[in-house]
Structure 1
Amino acid sequence: MKRHALKAAAAAVTVVAALGSATAHAATPHAATALPSGVAAPYLYLGWGSPPSATSVMSATGIQQFTMAFILSDGTCKPAWDGSRPLTGGTDQQTISAIRAAGGDVTVSFGGWSGNKLGESCSSASKLAAAYQKVIDAYGLKSIDIDIESTEFESATVRQRVVDALKTIRNNNSGLKIYVTFGTTTTGPDSNGQDLIKRGAAKGLNLDAWAVMPFDYDEGAIDMAAATKSAMNGLKNDVAAAYGLSSDAAYRKVGFSSMNGITDSDGETITLADFKSMLGYAKSHHLARVSFWSVNRDRPCGSGSDADSCSGISQGTYDFTKALAGYTG
């Protein structure tokens, strides 16, 4: 999905606003939030899109958690924010510290559409697992999101490597919540997504949620709430079949990450009413994770705004985040 295209040149001038009041410090124990980690955690991206102050968003909306994006490869099998900013000691850690100081927490997301992916840069599952573990340990994480897209998603070899690495992470981090996120069709995962789920089941990989991104369908102006529900039903069916679960149990092992406002696909728009309908569906089936891309875009556009910093639709500031804050699984 083009929503994840990185704009490294803009990163240096846009990260400062997202820091909140805390200064950088080493990861320390912190109080648990009211919800299991990552259940309702919209994406916050410091690389572009005029990132808002995370703590201000928390105060304005009641949201407690964010999905921080993205951890990428620095060109080798070493993790770095956007592949270029330091893993610790920089603006990303300052933001995480500020969120935690305000009583919240984060899910760290690996991958996205653009940039060098760890799944491709690491030559073995053991090396990939070590790269994931380095980030988990650096921040004392309670949840991670593997956002597998583009060439990382399209390669059967890399899909297996990711599954094998996550099996190691699961074995070594029993309390960690693990989410895997990827694209979808309107009727559910495509062949790559179905293969990824089957490989996970064959490996005995017990994820907290298989999640899809139900947008960028390239089908023009369609009913996005209905398309999301259809995609989720397809995902549920694939997970149920692969893992031998009932429909109810499978729903509790899936989730979605939507997009707010005008998406990257021509004619495609997700309104606040659409998103609230999606949330109603999620509540009725007790989905394991709901998110959206992104907090950066959760505001109306002003003069000079671009698609990375506003939704392109008529809305109030942080309307989508406020709606998501009420989701408890």
Structure 2
Amino acid sequence: MRIPVIGAAVAMLGAAVALVVTAPAQAATTLPAHVFAPYFEAYNGDSLNGLSQQSGVKHLTLAFIQTATRGSCTVYFNGDTSMPIASSTFGADIAAIRARGGDVIPSFGGYAADNGGTEIADSCTDVNQIAAQFQKVITTYDVTRIDLDIEDNSLTNTAGIDRRNKAIKLTQDWAAANGRTVQFVYTLPTTTAGLADSGLAVLRNAVANNARVDIVNQMTFDYYDNQPHQMAQDTITASNGLHAQLGQLYPAKTAAQRWAMVGVTEMIGVDDFGPAETFTVADATTVLNWANQQGIASLSFWALQRDNGGCPGGAAADNCSGIQQSTWQFSHIFAPFTSGTTSPSPSGSKSPSRSPSTSPSASTSPSRSPSTSPSTSTPPGGGIVNGTFETGALSPWTCSLGSVVTTPVHGGTKALKAAASNSDTAQCSQTVGVSANRTYTLSAWVQGNYAFLGATTGAGDVSTWTPGGSTWTKLTVTVNTGSSTSIKVWLHGWYGTGTIYADDVTLA
């Protein structure tokens, strides 16, 4: 993320800093499995606790920690020597936030540090001293998660990349020896199709150094590709790409485990590129619902101080979004994402205990499972049974809120009705036998607002959707079976958006 450089020059240390070996009692609890934690601009004098109270945001990512000068091994907030890593800097604010059930995530790096050589691993050439700085932040503030914002020149500094990951491994070993929970997040730029190779190189080096990366947080903005953008959809395609890339890096992880490694950071309103990349309030609702459905780990935006409509029609700024909005509107939309009890189900779907807002997601992989297991049918070569619903019954479909009706229909005399409620998407599914290593085309005709069609294979989910309306629309999605010999086919509506109808479902 881009921030102004407000560092002050200090004398470089002449002696090596010893590794921190003490671990005082940990005050902070582990962060929720799914947490909304927007960035807080720690460099402009705003009250951390004050803005947390005003916005209602309980978890915040503190930007940024860096060295004061290139070559130093001592970090400060924003590289400002008047803001040392000490209880005197934000200590009282953090205690007040924790008293209200929240917490903070210190963030190292950022665009200014990465560009100026003051990111800790770029600046300091001693791995032990880098690890010591990580550990000092952890013990000073009793935090359980560290964010590493790596972009610009830091993405091509191979020596710094290697030092950073070696320091992560040292810190993780230290934490394990001292009974501490510590998570590391890599925040990286992305394309609309996933990480560029420079970002992947950071993760490949982490794997090579046995440094555990808990979350990969994509900056889904500032694409600078001179292409038209629909920012919510770009978030989804970027995340799908990242999910596939994580499969290559971590082949032992399941699809759900890889989604639990995914984080998303938006830049609310107008981003640095300009109005062509504008993240709207409607985009925020779409991303929230998709994030809930997919079970990703973290949701964030740049930055809390921008969450107001003080400069509509303007360019990117530190203190306003550049669009018309109410104050804290994005914060209030994203706040329900935080949950201390929810974790993704094996299929990657969200737990029913989550309370999504009522707008639909543009998800490419909704996989909410009905309460009853679907029956299995095995027509020769694969195919849908009762895809026209002409039997007058649902079987072998299993539906949470479904029935067969005689109007409206697309073909024949019957169709499926799925009446979504505020707490149920009215999913209908059936499991069918298929040939391994084959590509199928799944199609259905749908009518109504926000209809989804998809399939679950051993490799994960594929789906498509339409905002729909009062006319019949054909949805089609390609399904690659891989090693699977059976797949689950499903369709559903969306929370609180009413009834959808489906007919003539085929898999061929």
With the shorter chain as reference, the TM-score category is 0.7 to 0.9
2:185 paired with 1:179: yes
Q: Quick one: which of 216, 224, 232 aligns to 2:222?
A: 216
Q: What is the distance in 1 between the residues matched to 2:327 and 2:262? A: 29
Q: What is the distance in 2 between the residues matched to 1:220 and 1:98? A: 44
Per-residue Cα deviation, 1:258-307 (whole angstroms, up to 9, x for no partner):
11111001221001111221122211111111111110101111599981
Do 2:272 and 2:315's aligned partners in 1 also have CA atoms closer than 8 Å? no
2:54 paired with 1:66: no
Q: What is the distance in 2 between the residues matched to 1:277 and 1:311? A: 18
* Partner of residue 246, structure 2: 239
2:317 paired with 1:307: yes
Q: CA deviation at 1:156?
A: 1.7
2:119 paired with 1:117: yes
Q: What is the distance in 1 between the residues matched to 2:200 and 2:320? A: 33
2:282 paired with 1:273: yes
Question: 1:181 is paired with a residue of what secondary structure?
Answer: strand
* Partner of residue 19, structure 2: none
Assess, with a 3 A threshold, how the Cα gap between structure 1 residues 291 and 239 changes in structure 2: closer, same or farther: same
Q: What is the distance in 2 between the residues matched to 1:145 and 1:166? A: 11
Q: What is the distance in 1 between the residues matched to 2:286 and 2:7? A: 35
Assess, with a 3 A threshold, how the Cα gap between structure 1 residues 38 and 247 changes in structure 2: closer, same or farther: closer
Question: 2:148 is paired with a residue of what secondary structure?
Answer: strand
Assess, with a 3 A threshold, how the Cα gap between structure 1 residues 306 and 230 changes in structure 2: closer, same or farther: closer
2:245 paired with 1:249: no
Q: What is the distance in 2 between the residues matched to 1:283 and 1:254? A: 12
Q: Which amino acid aligns with 1:108?
A: P
Q: Quick one: which of 248, 263, 267 aligns to 2:271?
A: 263
Assess, with a 3 A threshold, how the Cα gap between structure 1 residues 98 and 306 changes in structure 2: closer, same or farther: farther
Per-residue Cα deviation, 1:73-99 (whole angstroms, up to 9, x for no partner):
122100111111222254433432332
Assess, with a 3 A threshold, how the Cα gap between structure 1 residues 128 and 91 changes in structure 2: closer, same or farther: closer
Q: CA deviation at 1:54?
A: 3.7
Bigger CA drift: 133-142 or 169-178?
A: 169-178
Per-residue Cα deviation, 1:108-142 (whole angstroms, up to 9, x for no partner):
00010003110111103222111111111111112
Q: What is the distance in 2 between the residues matched to 1:190 and 1:39? A: 25
Q: What is the distance in 1 between the residues matched to 2:52 and 2:88? A: 21
Q: CA deviation at 1:253?
A: 1.1
Bigger CA drift: 309-318 or 81-90?
A: 81-90
TM-score, length-scaled by structure 1: 0.85
Q: Which amino acid aligns with 2:94?
A: I
Assess, with a 3 A threshold, how the Cα gap between structure 1 residues 54 and 82 changes in structure 2: closer, same or farther: closer
* Partner of residue 433, structure 2: none
* Partner of residue 157, structure 1: 159
* Partner of residue 128, structure 1: 130
Question: 1:152 is paired with a residue of what secondary structure?
Answer: helix
Do 2:27 and 2:142's aligned partners in 1 also have CA atoms closer than 8 Å? no
* Partner of residue 229, structure 1: 236
2:143 paired with 1:141: yes
Bigger CA drift: 246-255 or 70-79?
A: 246-255
Aligned CA-pair RMSD: 2.6
Q: What is the distance in 1 between the residues matched to 2:58 and 2:227? A: 34
Q: What is the distance in 1 between the residues matched to 2:221 and 2:279? A: 9
Q: Which amino acid aligns with 2:68?
A: D
**Higher-Rg member (1/2):** 2
* Partner of residue 83, structure 1: 79
Q: How does 1:18-29 map to 2 (within 5 A)?
A: none
Assess, with a 3 A threshold, how the Cα gap between structure 1 residues 246 and 56 changes in structure 2: closer, same or farther: same
Q: CA deviation at 1:60?
A: 4.5
Assess, with a 3 A threshold, how the Cα gap between structure 1 residues 310 and 121 changes in structure 2: closer, same or farther: same
Q: What is the distance in 2 between the residues matched to 1:300 and 1:37? A: 31
Q: What is the distance in 1 between the residues matched to 2:75 and 2:6? A: 18
Q: Identity of counterpart residues, as a percentage?
A: 32
Question: 1:114 is paired with a residue of what secondary structure?
Answer: helix
Per-residue Cα deviation, 1:142-201 (whole angstroms, up to 9, x for no partner):
211111122122212211211111111122224112211111111111111111122222
* Partner of residue 21, structure 1: none
Do 2:106 and 2:146's aligned partners in 1 also have CA atoms closer than 8 Å? yes
Q: Which amino acid aligns with 1:150?
A: D
Q: What is the distance in 1 between the residues matched to 2:316 and 2:194? A: 30
Do 2:307 and 2:320's aligned partners in 1 also have CA atoms closer than 8 Å? yes
Q: CA deviation at 1:202?
A: 2.6
Q: Quick one: which of 313, 318, 322 aligns to 2:328?
A: 318
2:297 paired with 1:288: yes
Q: What is the distance in 2 between the residues matched to 1:171 and 1:209? A: 18
Q: Which amino acid aligns with 1:288?
A: A
* Partner of residue 466, structure 2: none
Unaligned runs of 5+ in 2: 9-23, 343-508
Question: 1:109 is paired with a residue of what secondary structure?
Answer: strand
Question: 1:231 is paired with a residue of what secondary structure?
Answer: helix
Q: Quick one: which of 203, 216, 222 aligns to 1:197?
A: 203
Question: 1:173 is paired with a residue of what secondary structure?
Answer: helix
Do 1:197 and 1:238's aligned partners in 2 also have CA atoms closer than 8 Å? no
Bigger CA drift: 232-241 or 197-206?
A: 197-206
Q: Which amino acid aligns with 1:46?
A: A
TM-score, length-scaled by structure 2: 0.56
Q: What is the distance in 2 between the residues matched to 1:5 and 1:182? A: 19
